[in-house]
């Protein structure tokens, strides 16, 4: 039996277990860097499989596990994120979240189950592995800080020659997978703008510098960053998501705060966007007699799939799910901290279809009614395992 046929056999064998794992983790979600119960549960499952693992001691969440093949070779990593969101679940299911105000509303519960499924397959295939497979269960993806946190832990990152990961994706039909080369997900930066004016009575505006008016002008002027400062051939998004100003109907505000995000696909654009925003913010404030400061944080760089790794991933999809399963998808301006792993190591990030109206899997990520098609999970686990087997064999 060849490697792919063996993996497909395991997919059927462990299908029920993978579904059960997903539901167990869904029932007890934990937000970013609070995933200690989740971490302990992952460790227990891995230890039951006989797979050695370590918990990141920095915040006692996140796991690195290691499967060593019977044949010498290089090392490859497979990654799953494990954090949930501060969302109150509205689904009425037997495994509904038991944690008030917390829900796996993005599919990370499925990611955990998929990687555990791949681990179960790979530990049974050690005689076919030419090297080492690291399993990375990463906290804090929703904050953009989880990947750097895991990179700092141990020497696994230095040892690997490639890394593979993925996201269960509601915009892709169940049974389809996108693994294209090149730009896949955008850089996601976060900014805060603090406006300092002069407060006063609403009946005497001439004695004030109205921070609300200044902040409003800054919001409008920032729209020119995309429309007039960036090439129309480049995809850039600038969104001001919140504006806070004022305390009472008849008081002119002296302070205002704007918060938002920028998205782009070329890493080198970050500094230019920041510089342009800084100029607009300060000059707009000065025109009104106010002052303002921009606080800008690069949250995650863009996700860019390496060509060779994408080819291996596409081949894995064909072997496991068939040629019709390979699909193409336009790059998305959503962000993903998997990008940090790809800065120094070649790899591939897959978008794995879970859209299926027949099971109610139609709602967007982060929705309180988000759910997924669980029938896609065994195939996803098989693709993870196949990628590891093939990459190690090709580089042995």
Query: Which residues are annotated as part of the binding site for Mn(2+)?
Result: 106, 108, 142, 167, 366
94-99, long-range: CB within 8 Å, 24+ apart, which pairs?
Answer: 94/23, 95/23, 95/24, 95/26, 95/27, 96/27, 97/26, 97/27, 97/28, 97/29, 98/27, 98/28, 99/28, 99/29, 99/30
Question: For residue 289, is it left (φ>0), alpha (ψ between -120 and 50) or beta?
Answer: left
DSSP 183-211: EEE-EEEEEEEEEE-B-EETT-GGG-B-H
Could you tell me which residues are beta bridge partners of residue 107? none
Beta carbons within 8 Å of 280's beta carbon, 6+ residues apart: 218, 221, 222, 224, 225
Closest CA to 111 of 351, 395, 369, 364: 351
Six token digits for residue 278 = 């800084």
The C-alpha angle with vertex 368 and arms to 363 and 373, in degrees rounded to 5, equals 45
The C-alpha angle with vertex 72 and arms to 67 and 77, in degrees rounded to 5, equals 40
Could you tell me which residues are beta bridge partners of residue 297? 190
CA 42 – CA 20 distance, rounded (Å)? 13
CA 320 – CA 377 distance, rounded (Å)? 12
Q: In 265-376, at which residue ranges do the beta strands (DSSP E only) sit?
A: 291-300, 303-305, 347-355
- Phi, psi (rounded to 5 degrees) for 176: -110, 150
């Amino acid at each position: 039996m060849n490697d792919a046929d063996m993996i497909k056999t395991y997919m059927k064998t462990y299908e029920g277990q993978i579904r059960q794992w997903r539901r167990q983790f869904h029932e007890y979600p934990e937000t970013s860097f609070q995933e200690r119960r989740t971490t302990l549960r992952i460790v227990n499952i891995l230890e039951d499989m006989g797979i050695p693992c370590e918990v990141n001691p920095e915040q006692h969440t996140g796991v690195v596990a290691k499967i060593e093949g019977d044949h010498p070779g290089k090392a490859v990593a497979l990654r799953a994120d494990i954090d949930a969101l501060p969302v109150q679940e509205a689904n009425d299911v037997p495994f509904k979240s038991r944690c008030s105000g917390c829900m796996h509303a993005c599919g990370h519960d499925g990611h955990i189950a998929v990687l555990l499924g791949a681990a179960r397959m790979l530990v049974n295939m050690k005689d076919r592995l030419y090297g080492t497979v690291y399993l990375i269960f990463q906290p804090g993806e929703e904050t953009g800080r989880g990947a750097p946190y895991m990179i700092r832990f141990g020497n696994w990152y230095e040892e690997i020659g490639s890394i593979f990961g993925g996201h269960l994706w509601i915009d892709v039909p169940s049974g389809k997978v996108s693994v294209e080369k090149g730009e896949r997900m955008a850089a996601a930066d976060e900014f805060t703008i603090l406006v300092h004016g002069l407060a006063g009575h609403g009946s005497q505006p001439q004695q004030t510098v109205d921070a609300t008016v200044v902040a409003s002008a800054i919001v409008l002027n920032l729209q020119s960053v995309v429309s007039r400062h960036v090439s129309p051939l480049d995809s850039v998004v600038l969104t001001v998501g919140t504006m806070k100003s004022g305390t009472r109907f008849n008081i002119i505000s002296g302070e205002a705060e704007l918060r938002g995000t920028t998205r782009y696909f070329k890493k080198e654009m970050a500094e230019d966007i920041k510089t342009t925003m800084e100029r607009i913010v300060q000059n707009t404030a000065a025109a009104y007699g106010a002052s303002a400061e921009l606080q800008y944080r690069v949250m995650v760089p863009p996700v860019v799939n390496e060509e060779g790794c994408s080819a291996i991933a596409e081949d894995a999809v064909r072997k496991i799910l068939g040629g019709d399963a390979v699909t193409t998808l336009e790059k998305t301006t959503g962000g993903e901290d998997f990008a940090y792993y790809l800065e120094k190591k070649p790899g591939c990030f897959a978008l794995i279809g879970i859209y299926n109206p027949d099971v109610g899997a139609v709602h967007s990520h982060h929705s309180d009614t988000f759910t997924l098609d669980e029938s896609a999970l065994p195939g996803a686990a098989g693709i993870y395992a196949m990628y590891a087997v093939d990459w190690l064999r090709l580089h042995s």
